[in-house]
Every structure is written in structure tokens, then in C-alpha cells.
Structure 1
């Protein structure tokens, strides 16, 4: 490809960064600007992964190497659809790739889910990760808490709720998060999975980490440890499923340990209602399930009421519709064909592409994101000769435009200043970093002379 190509990527999480990496490797004539509504890069790696997961956060090192490329530029604190619109970007770029991910909670349609004390796991994760756009305080008032879900996010939420705040002081949690967790009166966290132990979506690493706290006793309730032919086949076919089942079975038969907090895991229990009094959560009602032979379940008509004062749903992430772009509300994705964004008539919108969770839904690990980004980039490169040329393809044009609108943008050099500042904050306390939370404080540090 000989034609110089300028591409805007919207979203500086793994999906957007991998798309940029594929683009610059495809041709030396490509330059990419990655925009994000936050002043910082890395998306859910910074604001979604639990702070006591340093090994998972090592992915940041790989993403940093990509962002250090001189043909990739980070432009932060710019919200797509608010601060800049598609038609405005088309003045400066040949193409735009939407990679905004999924950061909201998927709904759980059961009675009582909107009671006071009922929360979404994604919102809670944003709070304990110091996201600048969520309240600084979180109502941690319950002694007994229910977590609904069978994936890694559910495990994260249950673990953060169950651990003592002092155990998390070695992580990057901000001071307000530490103080909030320290005041929590929680004694018991109950995690409910609708299906059996062979159908959970935990990874073995995440599951093992539940048992690392010296203050938390992990209790596996044996009533739901059941297997049908579909379960046995899943264990034969998938190594990590077998590993998770082995861990759960070993925990179920071990001798109890006397620890101040308890984390209970229940299987074959489907939530059917959040119970309330005076508008507040007082319990969770579940229906016992039975396996149907193929790994799926059906209700038995047997119900149990669990006395809890808070409920956290971890039933999946959901993408958010973007202004002036089509959106499928059922799937929570942008309609596309191999990454080409389609209008209401099913026609490709010239120059518009998508990748990541907003393209395929919030499924798969980071490795899947690489292949997904590659498909989108291949579609874009196939369309190069048909792309409308930008009016102002200069490197500085878009920056002048954004600053002319009074936007306080951040850049890669600014992020490096903030990164160093957070590391410095952590050093006196023996911590790798302490996050800065307030947006204006972050942008001030990034743009300090």
C-alpha cells in the first residue's frame, strides 16, 4: 500500500491498541491517533481488572511497547460523540475504528433488582479501581452480601468484598477505596452460580486466588457439586474446566478453618427475586436447578431465601450506544460485517470500522481481541482505495481543532508524567503505585510544564 493513511481509533484499551499495532505493521505509510474519553490509556486493564491482580496487569507492559511507537499517538480526555463527532474526524482521517469496549452492567430482569443495596459489578469495579467518573464513596453497609455470577468478574467482586482492606494496601487502590473497605462490616459473601461447577467461566488462576487470603475461609457447599454427561464431556474436552472442578472438589472436602470472614460458593442456584423491606435489600431468593444431561439446567420449583443486605450482579458487561452510529440494543454491539460498520440499510458507512467488545460482545480473553482487531484492519486495508481522503491530513490539524474548542487534552508524554507521579506516591508506602482519582488532578499532572 503506497497511499499514506491516517486512522483514528476510538478507545485506548487493548482492542484499540491492538488495532493500531496491526495497522502500523501493515504499512510504513500508516499513522494512527488513539483517542480516549479518559486522560489515561489502557481502558479496563486500568479500571476493570481488580487491583490485586498484578500478573494480569502485566499486559500493560505489552501495550506500552505498542504505544511507544512514533507512528501511534495517544490523545486523551476527548469523548467521542461529545467532544468530537464522526463528521469532524473525517476532516482529519481516512478512516475511524470504534473500539470503545463495554463498561456498563448487563441488566438482570428479576423483581427487586432496583432496590437500595442492589448493585452492578462493573460499577463497583469502577469504584474500587479509582475511575474518575464514579462517586468517591460506596455504601459498604452489609454484613452478608450476595454476588450473582459465574465468571471472573464475579470472582473479583466477591474477593474484594471478602478481603480485609489492609490486605489490599499493597496494591494501587486509592485512599478513599481503602477507607471504604476498611469500614465495611462484611462477614459473609455468598456467590451463586445458576449452572454446575463444570459450566463456570472462572479461570483456574482466578479461582485459586480466592483462597489466598489468610482472613477468608472459602466454603464450597456440596449440594450443587453435580455432574451430568454434558459436564463430564466439558471436563474431558477442556483442561481449564477440569482444573476448576478439581479445585472446587478439593475445597469441598477439606477440613474447615477458623477465619473471621467467609466466602461461600453455591452451584445450581438461580436468582429469581431480590427481597426487600422499606425499599432496601433484605434477602435473595434462588431456585434450585437440576442438570438436564447436556450441561444445561432447569428449575426444580424448590426455592431458598438467603438473608443478605446487598446484592451484586456480575452477569456480564454491556456496551454503550454512541451518538450518530447504529447500535443493536439486543446484542449490545455495533452492526458490522467483518468490522465494517453497517447503516440501517445494511450498507457499509464509508470509513467507519469497529473492533473489540462493542463489535463482538463482551466475550473472550485478550488473545481473542488480537484476532478480532486483525480482521477489522484487513477489511480497512482492503477498502483503502475507496476511502474518502481527509481535508486536513496534517499531523497537527486535529490537535489545533480540539484545542481551539477549549479541550484540555492529554498525550502520551503526559500519561508518562502521571504514571511516574503515581509510582512516586506509592514508594514511601512500599506500594507499586497509588492511583490519582480526580480527573482534573490527572489532567493537571499530565499537562504540567
Structure 2
């Protein structure tokens, strides 16, 4: 039994544990003993109730109550934001982790919310499906949680709907009370140096999409047979992912959900040496210790790090004192460099190259394909006394001969019509998830009803779980605005929500893939994968995906 405030002393409470994410407790409130009172008067608005019972949620041991009406007095606790009795329609653009976490939090917080998730792809889950490396199946388990969200009676998935070309932002805002943009970052930052357009140079995003079976990169076909050396520019987790895929034995990759065309190409690959090139030093490496430890521990892989690159300055030492993750990364690199190696001639090599920045890409003899990366040595210099240090060229150069270059220097979000966008930072200007139409300090103006989450909100940083906290902040902002009455339509007429979207798609003759369509794709992929001793065999073309969904 739970002790409850004396205010509810005349009600009896019993508890029962439910399922879900494990942090929620369903509390069963029995009917009040007084038949003279109207039972509904005592219930939080939006609760799933019958004449006999009411359900409340408890999180972290604290009561989450809604609005209670006792003797005409309204009591509102901090733990629950009531939406009133009217349905509130929400459209989330983008079905990756940020989108699904936002949907999940909205559905849990507000019983009268109806959520629609749209995505330009026929398949949901975004980076969980097309960004997470195939040899990291444990990270993809979160898709099961997202599936439960999509199957909620108050949630619908609309795949194969492209914001901008199929439907405009203004049309969504006309039909929904709340629009949350979480479509991520589907473009790449450019280095802006000569030779960047040579064949054999790809962004890490393209390469990841290629081996993960993204339909946009099905025809990419990188040449892995004409060279023994690949250069990866950058040292974040994505850079380590692509290095690992290039160097991991194909027999191990064959047991994953890697795309069939990528597996065939890697089977014939002649790449034996991979260089990871970083502008700054090991104390500033952007990867996490977990990812680094995995690649350093790969069998039959010779790790090469120049000892001079591991010598750190007093400024580096001071920086590492306050950065636990970076300190651990530095320790792992130092340990790897000190380990004795007597590799056989056929063993594959992974080189860590610090304090170098690309100056230009040099062509091979045919003039069309990359043949080398021309690097400039760097040192770190403080910028204007702000404590930040940047890589500055020394005027000393060297080349790494190679036939494949992967640029892992960051993803970039793209603007759409009608959306404020900070092109310098590559994000939508926002205040805790509220989109700002004007974002000069002291003169911020909020676009009521328009919100943002995920990479589009904060930039392409963090892991899958980072989006959970990001979504919580955005949903908290939405709840505050709802409670203040800031999202009520000026006309007073409820917006059509899902019915408006369905009518709009019908008028435009646009076919969408519902979640049941994705389940057909999912079933077919798993069936074929089982025949090949894989978790799934991904369908990798737009045509086949739509065909499998029975649209």
C-alpha cells in the first residue's frame, strides 16, 4: 500500500505493477465510497477511467496527478499537464529516435493527444535502421520499443511522404495543433578543398547508407578492388564504424543484417590498410571509449600510432582533467601504441594519424579517381582567449597514397520552405525545442505550435539515447505551452489532424505506407534473412520496398 496525501484519505488505493519501460507504476484507485458524489469529478482530465477504476502513473516514486475537482476547488500538481477535454493533434516529421521518443513522451504525458508520424522513407526508425552499424545489433533493439509506440491506438505512421515535395510545412500547420520537426541530417558538410569531386571520395554518411541498405545509396558501388589503402578523415564514432566495416572479416559480417550488395563488395575487397586522420591530437579525439575499445580489440589487426603524436602539452593535460571520456580515449590509444606487435605480412593495418588536415586531393594516373590525400601538419592554437583551441597549419606537407577516401567530418541538416534555419550552425533556431522565428539575443520570437527535436534541434551529436533527453525537453516545452493556452486555434475551431492529412493525401493522389505496410516489409526481410542465416536481408530499392509494403 502507498501512503497518500490526507486529501485522499477517504479513498482506498491498491497498486499493481505493469509492463512498459519499467519505470512506470499503475495505481488503481477504487471507487469513492460516497454514492452521492459524481465519480468523474474526482478524476484527472484525460485519464482512462471506468465507473469503477481510475489509473494514475507514478514515476521515480513521485505522484503524477492531474486536475482534481474537490468541493469546487481545482488542484493541479506539477507532475501532469492537462490538455483539457479536447483532442490535440500532433504531427511529427521524421521517424528516427528523436521522432519516436517525442511521440512516446507525448502519448504518455497526455491522454487526449493523437500523434501522426510521417517520414519520406517507406520504413520507420531512421538511423536505427540506416545509421547503426550492422555489427551492433544490440543498439537496434530499441526498434522494438518504437514499434510499440507506432501500434498505439492514438498513433499512426505515414511512410513515403516527403515534407517539401509531397506536403508543405504550412499544410501541416493548417491541419495540426502541434508540428514537431525531427527529420535529422541527411546531407554532409563539405571540406571545400581542390579535388573533392574526384571519383572514389565519399562522405561517411553515404558509405554507411550503402552498407546498411538505404534505397538512396543502392547504386553507389564504391570500388574496393583497385586499392589496398583507404583514408578516413575524422575520428568520431562514425569514422570508427566505417573503419571497422572495412577491416572486419567478411565471415563475421555475413551473420549481420549488412546489405547483400555491400557484403559482396567487401568479399572482393583488397583494402588492407586504413588511415584515420584527425586535425587535432589524441586528447581531442571525438570518439567514445566504448567504440575505440572495440576496434582496438579486433583480432588480426595491427594498430599503428606514432609515439610523437601521443606527446601531450600542459594544456592537453588540463583539458583531460575535466573530460573523463576523452581521458579514457587517450589512455586506450597510449596503451595500444605501447603494445608490442610482430604482425604477419598479410595482417590488416589501422593507422591513427593526428595533427594533420587535408589540403587537397590528388588524382591518380587516370585523372578521374583519387590517388592520394595531400595533408598539412597542424598544431593547436587558442582562439581569442576563449579557451578553445583550433588546428592551425604549419606549412609542412605529406601525402598518403590511397584509392578510397571517406569524409567523416559531420552530417548537415537541410532547411525547408517556411522554416527558420541557422545555416551557419546547421540547426533550426530554438528555445528548448520551441522554434524561433527571430533569434537575436533579447528579441527571440516563438513560432507557436512549431517545435523541433533531435539533430535538427541540437546538431548531429550524441548517441541514440541522447535523443531521449532531447525529446523530453521538447515535450516539456509543449506541455507548458498547452497549459498556458498558447496552442489554441485563433478561430476556436479544432484542427482536423489525421483526417485532414488523409484528405490532403487523397486530393494529391499520394500513396503512403502505413505501419502495417512496414510490417509486411519487415516480415519479408526476416524470412529471406532466415534462409541466409542472417537476422534479415534488407530490401534496398524504392521499387521493391513499396512493392513489399503492398501500397
TM-score by length of 2: 0.76
Residue-pair matches, total: 448
Q: Pick from 111, 124, 133 the counterpart of residue 207 of structure 2.
A: 124
Any conservation in 1 of the 2:376–2:398 contact (CA below 8 Å)? Answer: yes
**For structure 1, which segment, 281-290 or 346-355, has the greater mean C-alpha deviation from structure 2 after superposition?**
346-355
SS in 2 for 1:108: coil
Please state which structure has a larger fraction of its residues in helix.
1
| 1:200 match | 285
Query: CA offset at residue 20 of structure 1?
Result: 1.2
The 5-angstrom pairing of residues 252-263 of structure 1 reads 252-256=337-341, 257-258=343-344, 259-263=346-350
SS in 2 for 1:198: helix
Any conservation in 1 of the 2:89–2:495 contact (CA below 8 Å)? Answer: no
The 5-angstrom pairing of residues 424-443 of structure 1 reads 424-443=527-546
SS in 1 for 2:460: coil
RMSD (Å) for aligned C-alpha atoms: 2.3
| 1:165 match | 250
Cα deviation digits, residues 285-343 of structure 1 (max 9, x gap): 22223355978344333221111122211011100111332222211112223322233
Any conservation in 1 of the 2:122–2:160 contact (CA below 8 Å)? Answer: yes
Query: CA offset at residue 142 of structure 1?
Result: 2.8
In the alignment, does 2:413 pair up with 1:319? yes
Q: Work out which structure has the larger RCO, using CA pairs closer than 8 Å and 6 or more positions apart in sequence.
A: 1
2-structure distance, mates of 1:174, 1:397: 38
Any conservation in 2 of the 1:219–1:264 contact (CA below 8 Å)? Answer: yes
Any conservation in 1 of the 2:177–2:497 contact (CA below 8 Å)? Answer: no
Cα deviation digits, residues 141-170 of structure 1 (max 9, x gap): 332111100100111122222234333111
**For structure 1, which segment, 172-181 or 108-117, has the greater mean C-alpha deviation from structure 2 after superposition?**
108-117
In the alignment, does 2:469 pair up with 1:371? yes
Any conservation in 2 of the 1:10–1:97 contact (CA below 8 Å)? Answer: yes
SS in 2 for 1:343: strand
2-structure distance, mates of 1:292, 1:344: 34
**For structure 1, which segment, 408-417 or 309-318, has the greater mean C-alpha deviation from structure 2 after superposition?**
408-417
Query: CA offset at residue 220 of structure 1?
Result: 2.3
2-structure distance, mates of 1:437, 1:58: 21
| 1:94 match | 177
* CA shift in 2, pair 1:55/1:230, >3 Å: farther
In the alignment, does 2:486 pair up with 1:386? yes
2-structure distance, mates of 1:63, 1:221: 44
Q: Pick from 412, 429, 435 the counterpart of residue 335 of structure 1.
A: 429
Structure 1 unaligned residues grouped into runs of 5+: none
The 5-angstrom pairing of residues 282-431 of structure 1 reads 282-291=371-380, 296=389, 297-343=391-437, 347-384=445-482, 385-387=485-487, 388=489, 393=496, 395-431=498-534
Cα deviation digits, residues 393-446 of structure 1 (max 9, x gap): 264442243144222211222222222221211112221111111122222222
Query: CA offset at residue 189 of structure 1?
Result: 1.0
Structure 2 unaligned residues grouped into runs of 5+: 1-82
**For structure 1, which segment, 376-385 or 429-438, has the greater mean C-alpha deviation from structure 2 after superposition?**
376-385
Q: Pick from 258, 264, 281 the counterpart of residue 370 of structure 2.
A: 281
Query: CA offset at residue 234 of structure 1?
Result: 3.7
TM-score by length of 1: 0.92
| 1:39 match | 122
| 1:245 match | 330
1-structure distance, mates of 2:295, 2:481: 48
2-structure distance, mates of 1:187, 1:329: 39
1-structure distance, mates of 2:529, 2:258: 10
Which of structures 1 and 2 has the bigger CA Rg? 2
